[in-house]
């Protein structure tokens, strides 16, 4: 197999989220404090409940249609539940989104092997990112802050195109932008259903990086499992040698 492109999931693949979802309660609090400072008069608990309801309704819809509206939509819907009608691009909403994102980014660090591996691959393959994340600006911020942005030919984020993995559309969009066929590309990710199944469904090979135990690996079997990113160049050579 001739590999022309390697595409990566972002969070918990190239960048690791410290302590799982511990950041979440702090991010909601920070978002709340911002909107109150912007003149929204609401107590914290009603806001938290409205946000969770709005979030869960969007998650439920995403299970059906694999869409991923920008995070601004969550806040707009939450405030609407509280009686505030604001446009999704209103500064109160966009500012609250960024406050949430900044708190999240405080809990994120680039994998210790990521930069060396990417530099090793750069020039030998086209490189891209396909990320499920409702705040595209956050992905770009991580890449720029860690001086990784110039190593990637394309970056596709679900919140920017309103489609999330394992939707074939998000993978196909990335391949089209790179100008490669599915059987010329390998996807690297940490989730069996979104990353491995999604890549396989359109004919890509898939490398699974083991960040946690996943029962779904029994159903969605990757082409190769690696323990850390440093093993990826060798894994790609193995895939290339397969007919």
8, pLDDT greater than 90: yes
DSSP string, the chain: ----EEEE-TBTTTEEETTTTTHHHHHHHHHHHHHHHTT----HHHHHHHHHHHHHHHHHHHHHH-----THHHHHHHHHHTT----TTSHHHHHHHHHHHHHHHTTEEE-TTHHHHHHHHBTTBEEEEEE--S-HHHHHHHHHHTT-GGG-SEEEEHHHHT--TT-HHHHHHHHHHHT--GGGEEEEES-IIIIIIHHHHTT-EEEEE-SS--GGGGTS--SEEESSGGGHHHHHHHHHH--
31-57 pLDDT per residue, tens: 999 999 999 999 999 999 999 999 999
141, pLDDT greater than 90: yes
148-193 pLDDT per residue, tens: 999 999 999 999 999 999 999 999 999 999 999 999 999 999 999 9
pLDDT for res 74: 96
């Amino acid at each position: 197999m001739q590999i022309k492109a390697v595409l990566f999931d972002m969070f918990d693949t190239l960048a690791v989220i410290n302590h799982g979802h511990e950041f979440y309660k702090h991010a909601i609090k920070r978002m709340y404090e911002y909107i109150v400072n912007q003149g929204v008069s609401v107590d914290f608990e009603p806001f938290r409940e409205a946000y969770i309801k709005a979030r869960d309704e969007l998650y439920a819809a995403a299970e059906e249609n694999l869409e991923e509206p920008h995070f601004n939509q969550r806040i707009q819907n939450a405030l609407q539940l509280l009686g505030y009608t604001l446009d999704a691009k209103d500064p109160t909403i966009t500012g609250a989104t960024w406050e949430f994102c900044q708190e999240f980014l405080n809990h994120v660090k680039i994998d210790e092997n990521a930069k060396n591996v990417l530099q090793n691959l750069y020039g030998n393959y086209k490189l891209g990112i396909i990320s499920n994340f409702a705040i595209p600006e956050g992905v770009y911020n991580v890449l720029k802050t860690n001086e990784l942005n110039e190593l990637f030919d394309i970056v596709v984020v679900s919140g920017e195109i309103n489609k999330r993995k394992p939707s074939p559309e998000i993978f196909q969009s990335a391949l089209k932008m790179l100008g490669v066929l599915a059987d010329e590309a390998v996807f690297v990710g940490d989730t069996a259903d979104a990353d491995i199944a999604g890549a396989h469904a359109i004919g890509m090979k898939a490398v699974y990086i083991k960040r946690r135990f996943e029962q779904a690996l029994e159903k969605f079997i990757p082409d190769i499992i690696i323990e850390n990113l440093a093993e990826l160049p060798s894994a790609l050579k193995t895939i290339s040698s397969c007919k």
